[in-house]
Every structure is written in C-alpha cells, then in structure tokens.
Amino acid sequence: MAGSEGYGGDNVRNNGKLTASVIITCITAASCGLIFGYDIGISGGVTTMPPFLRKFFPSVLRKMADASQNTYCVYDSQVLTLFTSSLYIAGLASCLVASRVTRSMGRKATMVLGGCTFLIGAAINGAAVNIAMLILGRIMLGFGVGFTNQATPLFISEMAPSKWRGTFTTGFQLFLGIGVVIANVINFGAARLGSWGWRLSLGLAAAPAALMTLGALLVSDTPSSLVERGKLGQARRALLKIRGVNSDIETELNELVVASEAAKQVNQEPFMTIFERRYRPHLIMSIMIPIFQQLTGINVIAFYAPVLFQSVGFGNDSALIGAIILGLVNLGSIVISMFTVDRYGRRVLFMEGGVQMIICQVALACFLGANLGTSGDQPLSRTSAILVLMLMCIYAAGFGWSWGPLCWLIPSEIFPIKIRSAGQSISVSVNFGMTFVLSQTFLSMLCRFKYGVFLFYAGWIAVMTGFIAYFLPETKGVPLESMQTVWEQHWYWSRFTLKTPDHPEVNSKS
C-alpha cells in the first residue's frame, strides 16, 4: 500500500512545524470528546443504581430481587435501553443538520452550538422527575453530541500539519476515553450518596460541556472553513498563528483557495456530489467504517459494562470498579495509538486490533459458556470473574488503539473539500444509527443469545478486518489536498477514480 512518499512532500502543511498554537488549538477542539465519553460512561452506571431504578424502572428492580431470574435477562427492558439509545437517534438526526451548519457557519460555531445544547440536556436529566423528562434530556444530549462529533474531527484534520494529523485526531478519542473514566469514577462515588446520587451523575454532564464550550469560543476557526466562507483575511491570520509568523503560508492559502473555488464551480449540493462515481470509495468508507466500528461491540459493552459485569456475577461495587478498570485500559491504549498511528500507519493498527479483539471475544464466549451455560442461574466465582475482566480489558485495548480512534480519523481525512462536510455528516450519522440499533437491542440479545452474543461480534470483527486488508489504502502523512492520489493508485478503487473509456466523466484531479 502507498505510504506518505510522493504525495506533495513539499506541501507547507506537510512540512509545517509543530507550533504551540497548533497544539493548544487541537487539544481544545479534541476536548469535545469529553461530553461523548462522559455520556457513554455515565448511562450504564446510573442504570445499576437502585434509587434510579426504583424511581423510573421498578420492574427491573423486581427482576433483580427474583432469585429464579436468568442472570443474562435481568436488565432486558426496552424502556430502560431507550434511556440509553434515545441519545443516538437524536444524534443521527442532528448530524444531517450539522453538515449545513459546519459549511455555512464554520466548524467552531458548530462546536459551540453542540456544547450549549448538551448543557441544556444535562440540566433536564439532572432534574428529571419522570421518564418523559429523562428521554427529553437524552434527546438534547444527542443533539449536542451530534453537532460536536460532526465538527471536531474536521476541525482537527484541517488544522493539524499532515505528518501529525493522525496523532491530533486521535486526541478526540483520547478525550472520549477520559470522559468514560471520569464518568465511571463519578458513578462509583455517586452510588454511595443515596437517593440523589444518580442526579449528581447525570447533572455533572454539564461540567465537561461548559469546559469544551468555553474552549471552543476561545479558538479561531480553521483556515479551510474561513476560505470556504470567503473570509480570506481571517484565513491568512489563522494560518500565520498556527503555522508560525516566519512560515510561508501563501502556498498553503493558495491551495485552499483553489480547492474552494473548484468546489464552488460545481453547482451541486454536496449530498448529491458524493454519490458520483468518482467518489464511490469515499462514500463506501464513510458508511462501512462506522458500521464496522459499532459491530465490534465496544459501545454496547461500554454503555452496559456495569450491567454486564453484574449479569455475569459481579456485585454492584465490583461492577462499577470493573467498568473503571476497563475504561483506564481503553484510555491507555488510545495513548499508544497516538504515538504509533503516524509512525506505523492506519492499516497495521486496524488489522492487529481486529485479530486481538476476535481472540478475546471467542475466549469470552467459550469461558462464559463453560461456566454459566445458557441458564445463567449461578454467579461466577471470584477467580472466574477476574478472568472475564482480564479478557474484556485485552479486548478494550485492541479496540483502543485501532477501531476506536481510527473510525474518527479516516472519514475526517479522506474527503476533498467539496464533499467534506457531507461525508463527515454521513459517517457520523451512520455511526449514531448503528449505535442506536445495537444499544437498543443489546440487552435483549444478551438475554436470548447468552454467551453467544460475543461470537456474534467476533464474526463481524473477522469480516471487517478482511475489508481493511483488501480495500483501505494507507493515508499516513498524505496532505489533505493530495489525498485523491491514494485512491487512484489502489488496486480496486482506481477503476472509479481514474479516467476510463467507459467513464470519461471521472476526473482524477477533482
């Protein structure tokens, strides 16, 4: 596969030095991942708190008290799963609107709007007195996450020098992991506060939202976005700030202007343009990568980690501690990815992580099948529970340095400017759509498939690892303006991106 050589090595962005402004700006933008991570971590822990269940889901609490209840099925409640999954259907809807907002108002404004909406959702959830308020709060949180997840990866990819783009974009996943760990720690403490602990857990979502909103207000928008909206003076000042006052920024600015003018000459809606034949590889990647990420099973395990640990025999405190450990392992693996993704490339991490996750999922299924069987009427021994936690940690590590950060990185870097906002919107929308489906069905699947649910995910991970091996070109170090070259040199995608007698309309320079 093609590496970084030969793709505009003299490009200013590729050779630009790493300035303090770039580092601060990208870290500030990446902090948007905090709100997504906090929500992922907080929802699963709250649903194990007896006061929360007693107020909103008493039927689940009765199941927990029933000694004859199948362990796998204790939390099988569609209303309970709707509490978690409603956020993601709202996020899906907001992503489609966010595409227009990022294009017309800029990446920065979209992040600010997302943070403010998330703040409102956190306030509603913390004050909820019935299920309707819970769901309304979750929907507002979903709108906030949808806007920020749309804008943030684009912001970082457009701001960072090409040779550091992978590291900085992975920072979004790093903050997401930090959010998960913080949420799990808060859940552990809040569970000891009695009847109002769950309100503290849900309401504190306002803290990371306020932090990232303030940060977004303080940074400038990306040069690409400013040029796209005709603000050349601001774009030049932004480039001078992030590249350094001694840098020759005119070459990069001219490249951005040329790309923007070419996009404007195509008098067509980006959501229509992306369906043209020459953008077939981009469209397929924007759909398949987020689908496959969700089919690793990581998000449903992250949402329901405390529930899952309780279902296989952990006590309440032990389940929350297990979720914290799982989050810390995932966080550490993301840090490893940050230091390796621009050195070894995207494909190596994708495939190694895939193999690691397959082995762990199969091992989990075999172990739980041998110890719990299908009845699930006996809890695991302490030793067996620790082994389950270890396998899940190894699985989380494989995800953390592969499909976790790379699912956000690849879609943010492969699109030309004319379809960049539309492509990112499709990618994030598909991600939320799959998250909604899987989070809404996971507890029912656990009840019906028992330990076989892990084999279900292992099979999909095998499929996606093969897909990456055959169809994803290496994008390490390639400037965004030269990204089309990797598709033109690919053994399969070149038939769509290069001119052929049958398809003379395909323009390899587009």
Cβ proximity of 121 and 144 under 8 Å: yes
Measured distance between the N- and C-terminal CA atoms of the chain, rounded to whole angstroms: 22
Q: Exposed, middle or buried, 368 (CB in 10 Å: 0-12/13-18/19+)?
A: buried
Calpha distance 251→165 (Å, rounded):
19
CA quadruple 209, 211, 214, 216: dihedral positive or negative?
negative
For 343, residues 6+ apart whose C-beta sits below 8 A from its C-beta are: none
**pTM for this structure?**
0.76
The Cα–Cα gap between 228 and 422 comes to: 14
Secondary structure class of 500 (helix, strand, coil): strand
* Helix axes of 316-344 and 165-190: crossing angle, nearest 10 degrees: 170
Radius of gyration of the chain (CA): 23
216 Cβ neighbours under 8 A, 6+ residues apart: 28, 29, 32, 108, 111, 112, 115
Full pLDDT tens readout for the chain, 510 residues: 433 333 433 344 444 567 788 888 888 888 888 888 898 888 877 877 888 888 888 877 776 666 455 555 666 666 777 777 788 888 888 887 887 888 888 889 999 999 999 999 999 999 999 888 988 999 999 999 989 988 888 888 888 887 888 888 888 888 988 998 898 889 888 888 888 889 999 999 999 999 989 988 988 888 888 888 888 888 888 888 877 666 667 777 888 888 777 766 655 677 788 888 989 999 999 999 999 998 998 866 665 566 666 655 565 666 677 778 888 888 899 899 988 998 888 999 999 999 999 999 899 888 877 776 655 555 666 677 778 788 888 998 999 999 988 988 898 888 887 788 788 888 888 988 888 888 777 777 777 777 788 888 899 999 999 999 999 999 888 887 788 889 999 999 999 886 544 444 454 433
Residues forming a β-bridge with 89 = none
Strand locations in 307-369 (E) = none
Distance CA 399, CA 18 (A): 28
Are 63 and 204 in contact by the 8 Å Cβ rule? The answer is no
pLDDT at position 2: 38
The residues, ordered by sequence, that sit 6+ positions from 193 with a Cβ below 8 Å of its Cβ are 200
Residue-range domain boundaries for the chain: 20-219+267-489
Q: Are 279 and 506 within 8 A, CB to CB?
A: no
Q: CB neighbours (10 Å) of residue 34?
A: 28
Q: Which one of 3.30.465.10, 3.40.50.300, 1.10.760.10, 1.20.1250.20 gives the CATH number of domain 20-219+267-489?
A: 1.20.1250.20
For residue 474, what is the enclosing H or E element?
none
Answer positive or negative: Cα dihedral of 355, 360, 365, 369. Answer: positive
Helix count (H) and strand count (E) of the chain?
Answer: 26, 0
User: What is the model's pLDDT at position 384?
Assistant: 74
CA distances from 175 to 31, 262, 335, 340, 405 (A): 6, 35, 10, 17, 11
Amino acid at 270: P
With H, G, I as helix, E, B as strand and everything else as coil, classify residue 415: coil
Residue 88 Cα distances to 96, 330, 399, 405, angstroms: 13, 22, 20, 19
* Core vs surface per residue 117-146: b (16+ CB within 10 A) or e: bbbbbbbbbbebeeeeebbbbbbbbbbbbb
CA atoms of 334 and 180, how far apart (whole Å): 13
Measured distance CA(46)–CA(201) in Å, rounded: 7
User: What amino acid occupies position 246?
Assistant: N
Cross-strand bridge partners of residue 503: 500
HEC states along 390-413? HHHHHHHHHHHCCHHHHHHHHHHH
CB burial of residue 392 (10 Å; 0-12, 13-18, 19+): buried
Match 């996750």 to its residue by tokens: 357
- In three-state secondary structure terms, 503 is strand
The phi, psi pair for 391, rounded to 5°, reads -65, -40
CB contact at 8 A, 435 and 500: no
Are 228 and 241 within 8 A, CB to CB?
A: no
| Torsion over CA: 326, 405, 462, 81 (sign) | positive
Per-residue model confidence (pLDDT) at position 123? 93
Among residues 218, 198, 210, the alpha carbon closest in space to that of 47 is found at 198
